[in-house]
Structure 1
Amino acid sequence: MMTRMTTQFLITSSRAWPGHRYIARLPAVQWLLLMLLLALSSTGQALPIEGLYSQEIVVENQSEAARERAYREAFEQVIVKVTGERRWLEHPRIREARQRAASYVAEVSYRTVGLEGRIDVRFDQGLIGDLLNQAEIPVWDSNRASVLLWITVQGDDGRRNMLGSSSDHVLLDQARKFATERGVPVLIPLLDLTDRRMVSVNQGWQLDTAALRQVGERYGADSVLAGRLLITPANEVVGLWQFIFRDQTHVFDHVDVSPDTYMDFPLDQVTGRLAEHFGLVPSDFEQEDQVTLRIDGVASLASHMALMRYLESLTMVSAANVSALRGDSIELRLQLAGTRQHLAEFISLGRDLVPVTSGTGDVATATSDLLHYRWTRQ
């Protein structure tokens, strides 16, 4: 049985999609319960995760020249956060738009930290979306796959140690900074007794795939990035990395002259892979689809409310019409801003809905008109 863990969870992102409509179409005997349910759930919006379209920049003063420079720098960082990949900065449309970054700005504010001036720039999500759509550049949705970071380090004395959330290490400081700047949910393990039973130092050093998958399940991680790093007497870092995502593994190495700059490359590698997998050109959301969603395990009013809040948090769902209640099962007809394949991908990012197999042992595919899941949140 999977145990949910409290971990160091670093996310920066945003959600600014229109509110969703939930319309009940039920027999009269169930109308009152569902009207109460929907009224309560409509006030319980999924918590927005701020930051994808905003960026803070250090400025020397509040002059127009300093402000324009900050706009361009912030624009670049927002494009990287929203798309997940730095390569898009070289796209001709993005390079041209950077020169007029001010035209995409929605709001600015200044503040002072010590003797340092800073400007917070928030860009218009709609305008950025239009730009990326016209350039046919995929957008990585704010509901992002998590990455469990598992690092085993060998120092110049030959001793090996695994790094956890209580470790004071420059590599973890870089990981935290990267997670904030790039909008990537990075999980740093507790390294408690259970962790150490699942993955020994030797297994961590060997990049034992089976053990790493097991500990990834413990943390509910969507992927695992594990590295074994050797820090030389000259303070160079030589590392071998393994990225585990679903049924695939990708192995790569990286060498850097200093631990202070080491982590950007491996984290950028996996961020690019996840963004490529989940990224969608904004026009893809203009496709409309409908699908019936049957969800078992919804046995109480609290479960109903939690489920509806969950559906509201899914970018793909523009409306959900409740069509039937049968015991602890609820059936909804979903209107999608996208395709049912996209919906299945977004659902797979979480642990709240798990597919239900049919009597023949098959799982309904994303091409089926009926998708069958079980609600697991307690």
Structure 2
Amino acid sequence: MRLSHYLLVGCLSAVALAAHAETINNLYQVRETVSGQTPEERDAATQRALDTLVLRLTGDPKAPSAGGLAAVRKDPQQIISQYGFEAGPPENLRVDFDPASTDKMLRQAGLSSWGNNRPALLAWWLNEGTEGANLVGDGQPSAEPVRRAAQHRGLPVRLPLADLGEQALGTAKTLDGTDPTALRTASERYGADGLLAVHAKQDGGKWTAQWHLYLGDRPEQGKVEGADQAAVADAVLLAVSERLAPRYVVKSTGATGDMTLQVEGMTLEHYAALGRLLEPFGGQLKSVDGDKVIYKVSGSSDQLRAQLALGKLSELPPEAAPVVATQPVVPGAAPAAPQPQPSSGLRFRW
């Protein structure tokens, strides 16, 4: 297939990403709850929005206080495109940050960032309050705090239907356990990248939540608390974001090296999907040979592997390339045969 055939797909906006990972369109839009519309309340909420954005893009809890952000913290308007109050409840200040200016700010501050292509999580979320236990399902009123928290923390979170069969499965025993087999089986129809099991309980005047994340071969878990269901949902997804970010955050320019990536089994649809997956790594197409492409990318191999796993690509062993033997030839002995050595870069296939 000629290179020109691949490039044509760049203009086909209707081609969908052939992976479960989702592209977050409102990553640079932040909503912060306010108690009024005074200038003081607006300024305080703007500062909180900036902190929220920096956390979304870096996953680093120390990043908002980084010295390189001092100037923008003093004047956030320089990276804000628009803002306005939204009626509630709850009443919010919505701040739209300019993506180009924000990304430039992070680079100048030496901070690494996480792109808008992120793993989709299916949340099995059990709320246990004074009125009993309820598995949160898509379409239920109890889903709203989870959705708001997911948007606030920049994570694509889905919820199951919570029908009778799923209600029977989504119990405290299942969600608090460490074997996700039953949940994985029940989750197959939703096509998510990972599972998030949350058991939130009302404890006196506050809520606590124990959570387990299953994505790839690195399970994570933690415990948080909050004043109410909305606060504890936000705390859970903040903690999950901070655990996920190191897998996908691409270091700022100069922090990591360049490498080659070879992908086999390409089609036009795969080309569109691969282009989106490689955006955080500055992927540059170098060559096309049939259904095989070679890209130049910047980043770490572990982060690249994690990103390509979202597209359901399979890693291949390195290709062996012959090299000339450098051992001195002993008179009368046969010359040493060249030994194959692994080629540099990574190889994957669809």
Q: Does 1:267 align with 2:201?
A: no
Structure 1 spans left out of the alignment, 5+ residues: 1-29, 299-303, 359-365
Q: Does 1:136 align with 2:113?
A: no
Match of 1:219?
190
Matches within 5 A, 1:184-203: 184-192=155-163, 195=166, 199=169, 201=171, 203=173
Q: Distance in 1 between matches of 2:275 and 2:54?
A: 25
Q: Does 1:308 align with 2:271?
A: yes
Match of 1:319 among 284, 300, 311: 284
**2:153–2:234 contact (8 Å) kept in structure 1:** no
Residue 239 to residue 195, structure 1, CA distance change in 2 (3 Å)? same
**1:242–1:249 contact (8 Å) kept in structure 2:** yes
Match of 1:346 among 307, 321, 344: 307
Residue 319 to residue 230, structure 1, CA distance change in 2 (3 Å)? closer
Residue 332 to residue 204, structure 1, CA distance change in 2 (3 Å)? same
Residue 231 to residue 252, structure 1, CA distance change in 2 (3 Å)? same
TM-score (norm 1): 0.68
Q: Distance in 1 between matches of 2:161 and 2:121?
A: 14
Q: Distance in 2 between matches of 1:339 and 1:263?
A: 32
Match of 1:44?
12
Q: CA deviation at 1:112?
A: 7.2
**AA aligned opposite 2:252:** P
**2:195–2:213 contact (8 Å) kept in structure 1:** yes
SS at match of 2:283: strand
Matches within 5 A, 1:77-226: 77-105=52-80, 107-108=81-82, 121-156=95-130, 159-169=132-142, 172-192=143-163, 195=166, 199=169, 201=171, 203-207=173-177, 208-226=179-197
Q: Does 1:60 align with 2:20?
A: no
Q: CA deviation at 1:118?
A: 8.2
Once the two structures are superposed, residues 269-324 of structure 1 have per-residue CA deviations (whole angstroms, 9 ceiling, x without a partner) of 111111133223322587433232222xx5xxxxx221121122121253324432
Match of 1:373?
349
SS at match of 1:312: helix
Greater C-alpha Rg: 2
Q: CA deviation at 1:111?
A: 7.7
Once the two structures are superposed, residues 184-225 of structure 1 have per-residue CA deviations (whole angstroms, 9 ceiling, x without a partner) of 11121123467568x353653543433234445553433322
Residue 135 to residue 201, structure 1, CA distance change in 2 (3 Å)? same
SS at match of 1:248: coil
**1:284–1:338 contact (8 Å) kept in structure 2:** no
**AA aligned opposite 1:231:** Q
Q: Distance in 2 between matches of 1:367 and 1:186?
A: 39
TM-score (norm 2): 0.72
Q: CA deviation at 1:108?
A: 2.6
Match of 1:75 among 18, 27, 50: 50
Match of 2:19?
none
Residue 49 to residue 151, structure 1, CA distance change in 2 (3 Å)? closer
SS at match of 1:282: coil
Q: Distance in 1 between matches of 2:130 and 2:93?
A: 42
Structure 2 spans left out of the alignment, 5+ residues: 17-22, 319-341
Match of 1:24?
none
Tell me how large the CA RMSD over aligned residues is: 3.8
Q: Distance in 1 between matches of 2:30 and 2:128?
A: 36
Q: CA deviation at 1:243?
A: 2.5
Percentage identity across paired residues of the two chains: 21
